[in-house]
């Protein structure tokens, strides 16, 4: 499918996915607030039945829990199919768990996201098509009206190794990202919030030395002797960035049995030693549309857009070269799901 046929917001201005991101301008931040989002907490697990009849007020004191479990299946089987093709089997598991604590002017929100998917085509080995571990925690204290002072930290990595053409391209803690941030959050209700953090960090870990030596995921690559090829200095397995951060989250029932969740993360590294790169914005945007058929059966459409100037992709139009590119993922599945809270 041609890249140009995919819908990507114009505010990112990818110039057909081949140019770096636009500068860190106010219009990007304001536009992002209007279009993005993610996940907001819901209600206490033990009172889930009661909450179907009575809404839990935002001033509720104590712990509230929520969760979403989804298992999607897909199969393509071909027998004497004249047009040709390849049969395949795929399975994807998704677990989202949340815990929310509120007491007076203090709010502590925690989320755990786990994804793992596998696919097998006829004549080939089983391969991964999704792998994710993410923890997100935010501690807030009321400032005034609907604004809160907030500290947030997120951590992302994956379960195990991923291979492409028999070469490892990622593994557990290779890469991994740790992002702490301090700022202010606007939230009028549990359905929508955004946080602006003028002080934030982004720490990249590449614990697989072979990937670190290659300079993968933005770490400093190894130095080799130009004549003998001997290793002089191994690649760095850690990289730090300091910049500004913004996260927008939304969770709405847009129709009966139809739920939309979206989350947009933006990060601008204003400490980059290469000053032209300070105009770039790292983007991580996830959207999930869940359509409930009955109590357990659902159809899910998931999209994920990533842009990171420091993650280099093989260039299809320039073999042997790499460069930053927009990463796009789309998953459509039908499966069994369960939700509480």
Residue with the bigger pLDDT between 99 and 77: it is 99
**Residues contacting 41, CB < 8 A, separation 6+:** 64, 66, 98, 99, 100, 109, 111, 190, 341
**Does an H or E element contain 330, and which?**
strand 327-340
Give the model confidence (pLDDT) of 98-115 as tens digits: 999 999 899 999 999 999
What are 54's two structure tokens? 């009575």
**Cβ proximity of 211 and 236 under 8 Å:** no
Question: By C-alpha distance, which of 162, 171, 150 is closest to 247?
Answer: 150
Work out the average pLDDT over 314-339. 85
- Residue 71 scores a pLDDT above 90: yes
Reduce the DSSP state of residue 39 to 3 states and report it: coil
Give the contacts of 72 (CB within 8 A, at least 6 positions apart).
90, 91, 92, 93, 94, 117, 300, 331, 333, 334, 335
- Could you give the residue ranges of the DSSP H alpha helices within the chain? 26-35, 48-51, 209-213
- pLDDT of 60: 55
| Choice among 167-176, 198-207, 306-315 with the minimum mean pLDDT | 306-315
Average pLDDT, stretch 181-201? 94
Residue-level pLDDT at 255: 92
Per-residue model confidence (pLDDT) at position 95: 96
Higher pLDDT, 216 or 24: 216
Do 170 and 158 contact (CB within 8 A), yes or no?
A: yes
Q: How confident is the model at residue 124 (pLDDT cuts 50, 70, 90)?
A: confident
Per-residue model confidence as pLDDT tens digits over 245-269: 999 999 999 999 999 999 999 999 9
Report the C-alpha gap between 29 and 23 in whole angstroms: 11
Domain boundaries of the chain, sorted by first residue? 20-303
pLDDT at residue 33 is higher than 80? no
Mean pLDDT of the chain: 82
* H helix and E strand count, the chain: 3, 18
* pLDDT band, residue 28 (cuts 50/70/90): very low
């Amino acid at each position: 499918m041609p890249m140009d046929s995919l819908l990507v917001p114009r505010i990112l201005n990818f110039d057909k996915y081949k140019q770096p991101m636009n500068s860190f301008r106010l219009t990007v931040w304001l536009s992002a607030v209007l279009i993005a989002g993610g996940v907001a907490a819901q209600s206490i697990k033990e009172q889930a039945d009661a909450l179907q009849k009575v809404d839990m007020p935002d001033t509720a004191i104590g712990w509230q829990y929520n969760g979403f479990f989804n298992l999607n299946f897909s199969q393509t089987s071909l027998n004497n199919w004249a047009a040709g093709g390849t049969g395949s089997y795929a399975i994807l598991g998704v677990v989202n768990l949340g815990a929310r604590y509120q007491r007076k002017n203090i709010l502590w929100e925690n989320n755990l996201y786990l994804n793992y998917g596998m696919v097998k085509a006829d004549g080939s080995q089983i391969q991964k098509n999704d792998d994710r571990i993410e923890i997100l925690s935010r501690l807030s204290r009321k400032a005034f009206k609907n604004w809160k002072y907030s500290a947030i930290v997120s951590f992302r990595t994956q379960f195990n190794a991923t291979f492409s053409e028999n070469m490892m391209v990622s593994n557990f803690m290779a890469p991994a990202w740790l992002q702490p941030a301090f700022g202010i959050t606007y939230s009028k209700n549990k359905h929508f919030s955004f946080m602006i953090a003028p002080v934030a960090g982004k720490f990249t870990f590449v614990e697989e030395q072979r990937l670190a030596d290659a300079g993968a995921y933005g770490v400093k690559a190894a130095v080799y002797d130009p004549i003998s090829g001997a290793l002089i200095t191994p690649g760095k397995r850690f990289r730090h960035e300091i910049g500004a951060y913004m996260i927008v989250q939304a969770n709405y029932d847009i129709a009966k049995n139809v739920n939309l969740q979206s989350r947009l993360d933006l990060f601008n590294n204003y400490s980059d030693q290469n000053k032209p790169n300070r105009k770039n914005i790292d983007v991580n945007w996830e959207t999930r549309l869940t359509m409930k058929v009955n109590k357990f059966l659902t159809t899910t459409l998931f999209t994920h857009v990533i842009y990171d100037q420091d993650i280099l992709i093989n260039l299809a139009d320039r073999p042997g070269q790499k460069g930053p590119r927009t990463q796009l993922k789309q998953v459509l599945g039908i499966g069994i799901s369960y939700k509480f809270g």
